[in-house]
A and B are shown apart, each in its own frame.
Chain A
Amino acid sequence: MSDKDNWKIWEVFIRSRNGLSHKHVGSLHAPDEEMAIKNARDVYTRRSEGISIWVCPSESITASSPDESEPLFTPADDKVYRHPTFYEIPDEIGHM
């Protein structure tokens, strides 16, 4: 048990209720996926936060590089017409 090197890091995603998508809530340590789910249940759903859990090894996540943020994100800044701010969303639509 002192050999914690084989306890990988996992990313945890929780669906809080039906109709919503899984949201990233944090990470944790676990030796395999089975225990990662159990740990996620104990660490992240103690206050009825969710009805479904996803876990995936952190190493499987590919992240964008902060150095690239300019070319990746700034071109969108001056394209306000892409934001749906010019019309009202009807109440029946629910979550957008």
Chain B
Amino acid sequence: MDTKLLEYTLRLGDNALILGQRLVEWCGHGPVLEQDIALSNIALDQLGQARMLLQYAAEQKGEGFTEDKLAFFRPEEEFKNALILELPNEDWGFTLARQFYFDTYNYFLYSELLKSSDENIKAIAQKAIKEISYHAQWSAEWIIRLGDGTEESHHRIQKSIDDLWEWTGELFTKDEIDLFAENDNIGPNLDVIKENWHEKVSQILEIATLKKPEAEWMQSGGKQGSHTEYLGFILAEMQSLPRMYPEANW
């Protein structure tokens, strides 16, 4: 078993799982029925991607591991998702600003994963990229609508764009796992993703008449397993049923 490949797979899988779990909280609470369904669809896409990635991770782990065991029976510090994804949803604008930052990142990331030297990751990326392209288009459009909307929507989305900024750095900060993936052509060079991301984000924010934040200090730790206080609550909710009834079935 290649522990670095496993680690890389878990990071991708946990990003999808934790974001999906966060987004389903909106189900039944969206501002209008149509957007409630739109966001629930995106949540389901994320969960679908999480399943494929965690299945692959479980396969690498062997020893009878399954996607469910990874999702429901791992403790907090073994989750490797980026911190931005575990932050509470707050209001619609905050949720959408996070989507915009993350979907844009995911779009450039998965476009590169289409060329992965790892056949499984490549196959997953081929399936996921169509969904992710739609997500990125959808959330960017919302940022433009809210930024270039009313005075109140402009003000509120700008605040969310600012507040979330310090959580974006982690996506592009390389550690040994990212370097391993880059060197073995499993994943891309994050510097390139960062450059593409900044260009796209600047472009959309400009159309949206919003100011791009400039602060340089960034949060970090999620992909190494050091989380905010919020992840524990997500896991408590997500894992409570399988932990209470490990044999539970649909």
Write the residues of chain A forming the contact surface with B, with a CB cutoff of 8 angstroms: 1, 4, 7, 28-31, 34-35, 38-39, 42-43, 46
**Residue contact A46 to B41, C-beta cutoff 8 Å:** yes
**Residue contact B38 to A38, C-beta cutoff 8 Å:** yes
**Residue contact B37 to A1, C-beta cutoff 8 Å:** no
Given contacts A1-B31, A4-B32, A29-B32, contact A43 B37 (CB under 8 A): yes
User: What residues of chain B lie closer than 8 Å to A39, measured between beta carbons?
Assistant: 34-35, 37-38
How many whole Å from A51's CB to the nearest CB in chain B?
15
**Residue contact A7 to B37, C-beta cutoff 8 Å:** no
Please pick, from A1, A34, A43, A46, the residue contacting B34 in the complex, using a CB distance under 8 A: A43
**Residue contact B138 to A38, C-beta cutoff 8 Å:** yes
Q: Quick one: CB contact mask for B206-249 with A, threshold 8 Å, 1 for yes?
A: 00000000000000000000000000000000000000000000
Residue of A nearest to B32 (CB): A29
Give the interface size class of chain B.
10 to 19
**Residue contact A29 to B41, C-beta cutoff 8 Å:** no
User: What residues of chain A lie closer than 8 Å to B35, measured between beta carbons?
Assistant: 39
B153 at the A interface (CB under 8 A): yes
7 contacts between A and B (CB under 8 A): A7-B32, A29-B34, A39-B34, A39-B35, A42-B38, A42-B41, A43-B34
**Chain B positions 26-48 with a Cβ under 8 Å from a chain A Cβ:** 31-35, 37-38, 41
**Residue contact A1 to B153, C-beta cutoff 8 Å:** yes
Which of B33, B34, B35, B37 lies at the interface centre, i.e. has the most chain A CB atoms within 10 A of its CB? B34
User: What residues of chain B lie closer than 8 Å to A7, measured between beta carbons?
Assistant: 32
Which of A7, A28, A38, A46 lies at the interface centre, i.e. has the most chain B CB atoms within 10 A of its CB? A38
User: What residues of chain B lie closer than 8 Å to A29, measured between beta carbons?
Assistant: 32-34
Residue of B nearest to A28 (CB): B34
User: What residues of chain A lie closer than 8 Å to B38, measured between beta carbons?
Assistant: 38-39, 42
Given contacts A1-B31, A1-B92, A29-B32, contact A42 B37 (CB under 8 A): yes
User: What residues of chain B lie closer than 8 Å to A28, measured between beta carbons?
Assistant: 33-34
Q: How far, in angstroms, from A4 to B38 measured CA to CA in the complex?
A: 17
Question: Contacts A29-B34, A39-B38, A42-B34 given; 6 further ones with Cβ under 8 A?
Answer: A29-B32, A35-B141, A38-B38, A38-B141, A39-B35, A43-B33
Q: How far, in angstroms, from A77 to B249 measured CA to CA in the complex?
A: 56
User: What residues of chain A lie closer than 8 Å to B31, measured between beta carbons?
Assistant: 1
